Structure 1
Amino acid sequence: MSPRARGSVVGGATRVPTVLSIGPARLTAGLDHAERLDLRAHQQVHGPIGPLSKRALIELADDVNLTGRGGAGFPFAKKVKAVADAVERRMLAPFVVVNATEGEPAAWKDKVLLTRAPHLILDGAALVAWALRAVEVVLCVADDGIGERSLLAAIAERDLPVPARVVRVPHRFISGEGGALVQGINGLPHIPPGIKRRASEGGVAGQPTLLSNAETFAQLAIAARIGPRRYREVGEPQGKEPGTVLLSVTGSARHPAVVECPTGTPLAEVLDLCAVPAGPAVLSGGFHGRWLDMATASRAEVSRRGMAAVGGALGAGIILPIGPDTCPVGEVARVVRYLAAESAGQCGPCRLGLPDLARAVDGLASGTGDPAVVRAAAAGVKGRGACSHPDGTAGFATSALEVFADDLTRHARAGDCGRSTVGVLPVPTTREEGGTRRLHVDWSRCDGHGLCADVAPDLIRLDGNGYPAFLDAPVPVRLEPVAAQAVAMCPALALRMAAAKR
């Protein structure tokens, strides 16, 4: 199968990655001739589409085994049926919510669809709105400006069966979580609710809501046009995960791209297409995914079953290789610090446990830590959060312990592995929500009173000698007041908070 490249375009101030395909292009069809498909070009490439009944929609989604492409992989047919049942039981018109937020820094596939093929997303949302007789379609995008203008133009170009509106969501890791998304649409903080509730039962305005990822709606639009038989003509030979998938491939790739390929495609073929250099490992599934050493990654196939078979994860289709020129342990530490700062701060496992995990991983990077401490910190947060963020972060950190065991040994012996951390993994360096000020200690003054840890336990822990320890990261804005209080109450005047150096 020969790859085809489709040029990149500018979205806001950020360049959207090049689009590549292996095999027949479906979601990315026509992008080799146009930077963006307006309605006329979209119809020329994809053809007409008509409404489906509720029954026909459920049967179609079931026939092609359509699952959510946002990470969880929940069967779309079951989701539609759950909303339909809730509508019948509660006698309330439903909402349709499209999640195109992509809060993870390495995610690009939905942004490519928004920017270059927005009508595919709208087609899928319209099909669901028709079938369920929805009251409104709500399209959620990140507030980074990428794709929003294109989406608004697409809405203006066509008539949708129900009103549609675009909602901006803070570009944070947890803002795209389903519960957080519904909260934000309802005018509440964009954080996961303390009590989990299915959107199908009570989502937007407390009414039944079908919420799914942007690519999922686009895949539905393709399936409705070509039918289940043709949809299944490409993809896994077993037919359990037919069709194509979009992958965001960045990291150390020399040609970062969003790649469309059939399910079952060898991951090695995708890595070769993006000119990934020989390196120690590949992160599969993004920052809530799993690490694979390069030899294992070369045996993986691009599907949920194929990735799981080798201990990896497909997740939201994020593939992050790291090359030989960076310290992998340092890269892992950067990401765990970032994920700890992305906490909503509303439950103990996130608010206290994730900073502890980040400190433990920082210890490994400096050569003073112990993998057993990392495992213990990870075990302390698993299964205890209001959302999947603690579990995902713990899995990311613990999978690194096995894959980078040799590097950890070098760090323990010499304090490092001889390579600097160059920042291959895309972690934001500054972010308004994460703050721009850091805590500092004047060790010539600090007497180990420990009062700072009592005042600001979310930020500061005491080490084995009773001295303060905290993350080498900006203080989150929400915690700046308590950090300032800890500074003010330090008896030795040893603690201060200052602007982070850039």
Structure 2
Amino acid sequence: MAHGTHVDLHGPLPDLAVDELITLAGLGGLRGRGGAGFPFARKLRAVQTAVARRRCGPRVVVNAAEGEPGSAKDRMLLTRVPHLVLDGAELAARALGSPQVVIGIADRGTRRSEVDPVGESLREAVAERRSATAFRVVRMPHRFVSGQAGALVEGINGRTPLPPGSPRRTSESGVGGLPTLLSNAETYAQLALLAAGGADAYAAVGTPDQPGTVLLTVGGDTVVEAPAGTPLVHVLGVCGSPPAQAVLVGGYHGAWLAPPAVARARLSRAGLAEVGGTLGAGIVLPLAENVCPLGETARTLRYLARESAGQCGPCVRGLPALADAFLALIGGEGDPGAVEAASGVGEGKGACAHPDGAAVFARSALRAFASDVSAHAWGGGCGRPVRGALPLPDGPADRYARLSVDWSRCDGHGLCAELLPELVRLDANGFPEDPDLPVPASWEADADRAVRMCPALALRMSVPEA
């Protein structure tokens, strides 16, 4: 939509002071649409307070990196209605006194000869606006964790775009170490609509505790807008979704809903929480009847393990262990208790929410597909194939070097566990529990040292080709 058409439809951008914008966001009940659902008014107030205390300028960031494979709403917004997103970001920038808005988008590996729809749309939209606010576009690697707020800030600051090892508030220290207002693309689009029509008009649809609409990506590629509180089955019907054995809501950090829960689910934070789901980033993935649900879940867990930031034990050790436990369950050699135990390793102790989100996803599969768990345990399988029904990106089988143990040489000295305590664990007899471990790039130097210092020369490290 061209800027002139956008202004005709929504009106000119209002000029609001920061206290007015905070009040408006509070009256409209606006919350973040990236997954956490944090109140936008509180984010604004936190940045305002930090700016006043530090006596420095703020920055505004639009998170459109969209690391979730099943999400397409950021791409839709930035290619179809980019001025709605830019309006919301510019409103915030003007109110806070930020001279610049930074927009983080996913780099999907487009070749130079190909058209980049998101990049082209943003370039045209920024040129049309002729705004005093500067807009800067930064590309992030298309990875699951690149859409995490801390990872995006790291990338904008010129560092590797991974979640920082210790949590920090972007409202205190974000882009360039300055107080930063960071929200996702849909949140800024909703802010623009709220400012254009006012809180009463904004609340004309939705629920009392969640006014307005939500954007949903259904089936990985269909983006629809629905009033908050709309029955899930209605949206599935509008999208032409056939009957499903279960529906994943909230993406790969979300939860599977069995048919009885799907029938009762309403698309709001409260409505999905009542049936054990989560709205998350607005991802809805129906699973067809003719595929193995446990196999599809295991395939996704392997992907989540590969997408680890590689910065802490819960990710490096916990996620591969969880994927292995689920694979054993499918083969009839494991049990649900082992999956539950693996999902609880390091719970709440990760450097980011990635391991906990994967655990929620795995546990929900045990509940939603309980009969299939029994079929695999007692009958060797459910008789249905794994078809790759859940959207996952193409990519290398493993991003990391591998540390392996030669059992014919290992004498159980235990030095490797002392040199790599986050990576190597010893069993009751003093030998490494796992003979083959992924080694994140940040630990390669320590792993190489362990290989060189092993008294029995029992360690090997292989590095994948670039």
With normalisation by structure 2, the TM-score equals 0.87
* Letter aligned with residue 37 of structure 2: G
Q: CA deviation at 1:375?
A: 0.8
1:245 aligns with 2:214: yes
For residues 170 and 75 of structure 1, the distance between their equivalents in structure 2, rounded to whole angstroms, comes to 28
Cα separation, 2, equivalents of 1:492 and 1:275? 60
1:149-298 alignment runs, 5 A limit: 149-236=120-207, 239-250=208-219, 256-298=221-263
Tell me the equivalent position of 1:300: 265
1:359 maps to 2:324: yes
Instruction: Give the unaligned 5+ runs of structure 2.
Output: 111-115
Q: 2: CA distance between counterparts of 1:384 and 1:85?
A: 29
Question: Given residue 196 of structure 2, which amino acid in structure 1 is its aligned partner?
Answer: R
Inter-partner Cα distance in structure 2 for 1:446 and 1:106: 45
- The code of the aligned residue for 1:94 comes to P
Per-residue deviation, 1:464 = 12
Moved over 4 A (4+): 436-442, 445-471, 473-489, 491-500
2:379 aligned to which of 414, 437, 449: 414
Q: What's the CA shift for 1:116?
A: 1.2
2:23 is matched with which residue: 53, 59, 82?
Answer: 59
Taking the aligned partners of 1:178 and 1:448, their CA distance within structure 2 comes to 43
CA distance in 2 between partners of 1:234 and 1:470 (Å): 56
Deviations 1:456-479 (A, max 9, x none): 9989999999999789x9997778
Whether the 8 Å CA contact 2:410–2:458 is kept in 1: the answer is no
Asked if the contact 1:281/1:321 (under 8 Å) is kept, the reply is yes
Count residues in correspondence: 454
The alignment partner of 1:142 has SS state of strand
Task: Answer yes or no: is the 8 Å Cα contact 1:51–1:127 preserved in 2.
Answer: yes
Letter in 2 for 1:350: C
1:42-81 map, 5 Å: 42-81=6-45
Q: Residue by residue, what CA displacement relative to the aligned partner does 1:276-297 show, whole Å, maximum 9, x if unpaired?
A: 2222211110000111102211
Conserved 8 A contact 1:96-1:210: yes
Secondary structure of the residue that 2:74 maps to in structure 1?
Answer: helix
Cα 1:499–1:166 shift into 2, 3 Å: closer
- Percent identical residues: 51
Q: Residue 494 of structure 1: CA displacement?
A: 13
Are 1:148 and 2:119 an aligned pair?
A: yes
User: Does residue 376 in structure 1 map to residue 345 in structure 2?
Assistant: no
Q: Output the CA distance in 2 between the equivalents of 1:85 and 1:460.
A: 44
Contact 1:446 1:492 (8 Å CA) reproduced: no
Q: Distance in 1 between matches of 2:134 and 2:153?
A: 18
Deviations 1:74-103 (A, max 9, x none): 000011011111111111110000000000
Once the two structures are TM-superposed, the CA of residue 38 in structure 1 deviates from its matched residue by: 1.9
Which string of whole-angstrom CA distances, capped at 9 and with x for unpartnered residues, describes residues 84-137 of structure 1? Answer: 111111111100000000001111111110111111110001100111111311
Secondary structure, aligned partner of 2:22 = helix
Counterpart Cα distance in 2 of 1:70 and 1:428: 20
Contact conserved, 1:357 with 1:377, CA < 8 A, in 2?
yes
3-state DSSP of counterpart to 1:83: helix
For residue 217 of structure 2, what is the amino acid of its counterpart? S
SS at match of 1:275: coil
- Which residue is 2:113 aligned to? none
Once the two structures are superposed, residues 156-183 of structure 1 have per-residue CA deviations (whole angstroms, 9 ceiling, x without a partner) of 2112332221111111111111111111
Counterparts of 1:418 and 1:456, CA distance in 2: 42
Instruction: Return closer, same or farther for 1:446/1:245 CA change in 2, 3 Å cut-off.
Output: farther
Shift of 1:499: 8.8
The residue type equivalent to 1:46 in the other structure is H
Alignment of 1:432-443 (within 5 A): 434-435=398-399
1:104 is aligned to 2:68: yes
Q: In the alignment, residue 125 of structure 2 is paired with which amino acid?
A: A
The code of the aligned residue for 2:216 comes to L
Partner SS state of residue 156, structure 1:
helix
Match of residue 350, structure 1, among 298, 312, 315: 315
Would the aligned equivalents of 1:200 and 1:210 in 2 still touch at CA under 8 Å? yes
Letter in 1 for 2:186: E
> Taking structure 1 as reference, are residues 250 and 436 closer, same or farther at Cα in structure 2, changes over 3 Å only?
farther
Pick the aligned partner of 2:49 from 61, 69, 85: 85
